[in-house]
Chain A
Amino acid sequence: MLRSCLPALMLLLAASTQAAVVSCAPAPGRFTVLLSEPSGAALPDRPAIESFLTKLQFELDQERDERWINPGATPVAFRACLKRAPALDGSEFSADVVEQLNDQRVLLEVWGAVDRGGTPPALSAQINYLLVPLRFAADQREVVPAGLQRLRYPEAGAAPTEDAVQLVSRPLDLDAFIATSLGLKLLRERTFDPAHANLCRAQGLLGAMLKRGLAGRTKVELTALREHVLASAARTLREALADPAYPKAGLLRLQQPAQPCAGGE
């Protein structure tokens, strides 16, 4: 009996020893997206993992047009977090850890597992996106959708790839989650104009994600997230209009909370 359980126990032990949350300094004075180490057979050793993270950070920082809206002098930065490898179930993200990430203006933490399998062999990945402001709100007992979104790649019908960076650096998904987190965080910080702009942008991007044939729990959670984003855009308008400090000539005065994103993003 014990002998039959031994491989499973060893696997469990290996998985538990691999998962580790270490400090990863956010970008000072900026909103930050943390890119943590993935697990999985496609990245078997440390040089492979480090090379992957470095390329991913470069790809996300330099090689693409971002679709969220940076709030003035506080742009979003990506940080590769070497040796930071959360468990796939996100169990390390306790309320105190999330509160600290929220204090440090971390918007999103991305990690997951990249594997190789099938015939012919192809890369596949499960990527976790922890939307920090959303999880923080849940920890404060606010009623919000799941702060941890999990997606599988390649998506249905997409061409297989041998490049792990291309597989993971999904512009649409990443931009949708960054715009969502940025909008929610800016609403909490009462910076209404960019909060509203990002929430409306996120609503459009999440809608585009939902069109690509997602199924099951992923679809349910993304749908709930989109509804929450739209409700938050309406809340942004209401709070801005009720705030005596909001400028008399503020652009949000032209919007209607009943249709918060009707005037375009």
Chain B
Amino acid sequence: MEASAPPPKPWPARLLGWMGAEAPKLVASIVILVLGFWIKDSVDLAIKQRQLDLSYTKEMLGLLQKLTEEEDLDKLRNSAVVLASFGEPALPALLMELRRPGLHALAAVWGLEAVAVREPETLCRVLPPLLLKRNRHYDIGAHRELLGLVGDNGCRKALPQLRRYRELVDAAVAGKPAALSQRLRDEVAAPAEAYPRLKQAVDEAITNLE
């Protein structure tokens, strides 16, 4: 009786058998090739992003100068809105303007509203943490504006931060402003008027988002 022939091995096993000791070298080469491509793409992307940021900075320079030196409200607003068309790269400049007194802060709010039209998710990521930071960069008027921007642009992920902030404002309205004061730039001149207005702003923002 004739013995039946063994079944043929699958092709990868046959290939490995045929390649013998050269197989690991081939696999290593393929891995290096893929890694090389991936790293090169990442580096290229990073370089391109850097180049884009640099070109934005160069193009924004004139607008930033206008925004810093200009005093006329209409021109300030125009510069802020044009600056906002750069999107996220314009945010640091607009937030710096928000810290300044007078009409600069008003223009900054216009700019931030313009950013919100294009990139609400960027504002939702950047603005809410500013309310709770203890760096005392923004006055109480700027805090009201930040609350308005967060509340009007659907920043639902900011709700826990807003609720924490409301606790600070409630305490200030009840005559214990110490914790809130650590977040505000200037001393509040008229607390009996200013704190209830801030409370109204935070309540409205939370209502808008719930």
Contact = CB atoms under 8 A, between A and B. Distances in A.
Interface of A: 20-25, 29, 83, 92, 96-97, 99-100, 103, 105, 188-191
A102 B39 CA distance: 57
B190 A22 contact: no
A92 B75 CA distance: 13
Contacts, number: 46
Given A92-B73, A96-B109, A97-B73, A23 B102 contact: yes
B206 to A, nearest CB: 20
A100 B141 contact: yes
B104 interface: yes
B193 A190 contact: yes
A25 B109 CA distance: 19
B103 interface: yes
Interface residues of B, number: 18
Contacts of A25: 101-102
A96 B106 contact: yes
Given A21-B72, A100-B105, A190-B192, 17 more contacts: A20-B72, A20-B73, A20-B74, A22-B73, A23-B103, A24-B102, A25-B101, A83-B71, A100-B102, A103-B140, A103-B194, A105-B189, A105-B190, A188-B190, A189-B190, A189-B192, A190-B193
A23 B104 CA distance: 8
9 contacts: A22-B71, A23-B102, A24-B102, A92-B73, A96-B106, A97-B73, A99-B141, A105-B190, A190-B193
B190 to A, nearest CB: 4
Contacts of A22: 71-73, 103
A92 B72 CA distance: 11
Chain B contact residues: over half helix, strand or loop, or mixed?
helix
Interface in B93-108: 101-106
- What are the 8 A-B residue pairs with the smallest beta carbon separation, nearest first? A23-B102, A190-B192, A22-B71, A189-B190, A21-B73, A189-B193, A23-B103, A103-B141
A188 B193 contact: yes
A201 to B, nearest CB: 21
B141 A97 contact: no
Nearest to A24: B102
A35 B84 CA distance: 33
A105 B105 CA distance: 16
Nearest to A190: B192
A103 to B, nearest CB: 5
Find the residue from A24, A29, A92, A96 having the highest chain B CB count within 10 A: A96
A21 B103 contact: yes
A97 B106 CA distance: 8
Nearest to B175: A245
Contacts of A92: 73
Contacts of B101: 23, 25
Interface string B109-123: 100000000000000
A83 B75 CA distance: 14
Q: Residue among A20, A92, A100, A103 with the most chain B CB within 10 A?
A: A103
A103 B138 CA distance: 14
A23 B105 CA distance: 11
Interface centre among A23, A189, A191 (most CB of B within 10 A): A23
B28 to A, nearest CB: 65
